Structure 1
Amino acid sequence: MSETLAADPYYDPYDFAIDDDPYPIWQRLRAESPLYHNDRYDFYALSRYSDVAKGLHDWRTFRSGRGTVLDIISSGVEMPPGLILFEDPPLHDIHRKILARVFTPRRIAAVEPMARQFAVEALDRLRGADGFDFIADIGVAMPMQTIGALLGIPQQDQSRIRDTTDSIITLESGSPGEGMKVEPPNLELIAEYVDWRARNPTDDLMTDLINAEVESEDGGTRPLTRTEILTYISMIFGAGSETTTRLIGFIGQLLSEHPGQRRELVADHSLIPDAIEEVLRYEPPSPVQARYVATATEFYGYPVPEGASMLLLNASANRDERQYTEPDRFDIHRQAGHLSFGFGLHFCLGAALARMEARVALEEVLLRWPDWELDRTGAVRAHTSSVRGWAKLPVTVP
Structure 2
Amino acid sequence: MVRKGHLKLSFDDGRADFLLPEDGKLEKSNLTTFIAENSMELIIPFSQESADKIFSSNIHLHSLLFINSTVESQKTLLEQSKVVAKEFKGKMLFIVIDVTAALSHVLTYFGVSEEDAPTARVINMDTAKKFSIASEDLSPDSLRQLCQEVVGGTTQPYYRSEEIPEDWDKKPVKVLVGKNFDSVTQNSSKNVFVEFYAPWCRHCKELSPIWDQLGEKYADHDDIIIAKMDATANEVEAVTIDGFPTLKYFPAGGKEVISYTGKRDLETFSKFVDAGGVLPEEESDADDDEDEDDTEKAQRVTARAAHPPAMTAHSISATGREPAIHITKASIGEEGHQLSSAFPEVVRAKSDILLPSSFGFQLGMEDGEQVGDHVGWREAVNEKHHPVDSLF
TM-score (normalised: structure 2): 0.30
Q: Point out the structure with the larger strand share.
A: 2
Higher relative contact order (CA 8 A, sep 6+): 1
Bigger Rg, structure 1 or 2? 2
